[in-house]
C-alpha cells in the first residue's frame, strides 16, 4: 500500500492557489482512476482505490500547510506504513512552471509543508516536486504562492495534472522513469505527433528542348571554336 499525499490549504478561497497544486494533482488521480469519494479522516480528506493493482490511499491534509505533518503522521501510523511508503506532491518554486522532478529524502528547502512532515515522520519519504516558477524576489514569495494560477497557466497546468494521473500507476510502483515519461508525453509531446505528413514537394516540370536553328555548317564550325 502507498500513501500519496498532496499538499495545500483547505477552503474554497485557496482552491486555485499555486500552493495547492498538490491537492489539484490528487483530485485528478482520484477522478481518472475511479477512487472512492473524499471522506474526512486523519485530519484530512481521504480517497481510496488501486493503482497498478495495488491499494493506494490519497490524502489531502486539512490542517493548513504549516501543520501538514500532523495529518500525514496520523495516517501513516494507522495504516502501519513506513516513510518509504509515503509520497508527497508539492509546489516547487525552484522549478519552471510545468516542470516536474522526483526526489527521495532530503531537506525541506524552506517549504513549510515539508518542514512539518519531516518533524512528524522524518525525511525518508519520496517527493514529487511540481514546478510553479519563482516571482523573482524572496519578499514576493508568500503572495505569489497564495495567489491563484493565472489564466495563461491553464494549458500547461492541465497537461501536467493529466500527465501525473496518466503515470500514477508507475509512481505507486516506484518506477520513476516510466512516471516521468508519462508526464512528458502530456507536457512535451513528440514534435510531429498527431500531425499529418507534409505534402510531397512538387518536382519542376521538364523544360521543352530548345530548337537549334543553326545550319549544319554553322554547328560544325562552332565545334572548333
Which tens digit of pLDDT belongs to each residue from 204-214? 555 655 556 66
Binning pLDDT at 50, 70 and 90, where does residue 203 land?
low
Which ranges of 79-167 does DSSP label H, i.e. alpha helix?
112-121, 141-145, 154-166
Per-residue pLDDT tens for 21-71? 999 999 999 999 999 999 999 999 999 999 998 999 999 999 999 999 999
Instruction: Tell me, yes or no, whether 217 lies in a domain.
Output: no
CB 29 within 8 A of CB 81: no
Does this model's pTM top 0.85? My answer is no
Query: Is the residue at 153 inside a domain?
Result: yes
Helix (H, G, I), strand (E, B) or coil at 161: helix
Determine, yes or no, domain membership for 169. Answer: yes
Alpha helices in 122-175 (DSSP H): 141-145, 154-166, 168-173
Look up the CATH number of the domain holding residue 17.
3.40.50.1470
b/e map 118-149, b = 16+ CB within 10 Å: bebbeeebbbbbbbbbbbeeeeeeeebbeeeb
Which residues form the catalytic set? 19
Q: Are 121 and 82 in contact (CB under 8 A)?
A: no
User: Which residue, among 222, 205, 204, has the nearest Cα to 213 in the 3D structure?
Assistant: 222
Give the pLDDT band (50/70/90) at residue 110.
confident
* Gap between the Cα atoms of 106 and 122, Å rounded: 10
Answer whether residue 201 is part of any domain.
no
Grid cell, residue 79, equals: 495504516
Number of domains in the chain: 1
pLDDT for residue 221 is more than 60: no
Task: Tally Cβ neighbours within 10 Å of residue 89.
Answer: 25
**pLDDT tens-place string over residues 179-195:** 999 999 999 876 554 45
How far is Cα 39 from Cα 59, in angstroms, rounded to an integer? 10
Q: Which domain covers residue 168, as residue numbers?
A: 2-187
For residue 109, give the C-alpha cell.
528547502
Residue 171 pLDDT class (50, 70, 90 cuts): very high
Q: Does residue 213 belong to any structural domain of this protein?
A: no
In a domain, 173, yes or no: yes
211 within some domain:
no
Does 144 or 224 have the greater pLDDT score? 144
Judge whether 214 lies within some domain. Answer: no
pLDDT at 197 over 70: no
Half-sphere exposure of 127 (CA within 13 A, CB side): 24
- Backbone φ and ψ of 202, nearest 5°: -70, 135
- Per-residue confidence band for 166, with pLDDT thresholds at 50, 70 and 90: very high
Amino acid at each position: 500500500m502507498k500513501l500519496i499525499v498532496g499538499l495545500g490549504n483547505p477552503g474554497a478561497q485557496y482552491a486555485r492557489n499555486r500552493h495547492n497544486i498538490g491537492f489539484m494533482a490528487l483530485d485528478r488521480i482520484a477522478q481518472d482512476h475511479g477512487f472512492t469519494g473524499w471522506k474526512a479522516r486523519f485530519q484530512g480528506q481521504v480517497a481510496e482505490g488501486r493503482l497498478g493493482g495495488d491499494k493506494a490511499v490519497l490524502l489531502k491534509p486539512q490542517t493548513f500547510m504549516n501543520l501538514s505533518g500532523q495529518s500525514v503522521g496520523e495516517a501513516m501510523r494507522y495504516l502501519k506504513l513506513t516513510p518509504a511508503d509515503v509520497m508527497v506532491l508539492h509546489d516547487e518554486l525552484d522549478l519552471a512552471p510545468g516542470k516536474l522532478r522526483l526526489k527521495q529524502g532530503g531537506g525541506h528547502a524552506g517549504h513549510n509543508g515539508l518542514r512539518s512532515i519531516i518533524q512528524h515522520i522524518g525525511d525518508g519519504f519520496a517527493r514529487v516536486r511540481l514546478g510553479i516558477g519563482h516571482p523573482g524576489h524572496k519578499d514576493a514569495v508568500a503572495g505569489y504562492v497564495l495567489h491563484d494560477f493565472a489564466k495563461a497557466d491553464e494549458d500547461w497546468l492541465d497537461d501536467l495534472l493529466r500527465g501525473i494521473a496518466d503515470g500514477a500507476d508507475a509512481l505507486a510502483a516506484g518506477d520513476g522513469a516510466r512516471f516521468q515519461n508519462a508526464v512528458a508525453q502530456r507536457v512535451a509531446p513528440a514534435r510531429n505527433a498527431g500531425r499529418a505528413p507534409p505534402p510531397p514537394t512538387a518536382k519542376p516540370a521538364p523544360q521543352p528542348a530548345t530548337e537549334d536553328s543553326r545550319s549544319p555548317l554553322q554547328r560544325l564550325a562552332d565545334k572548333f571554336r
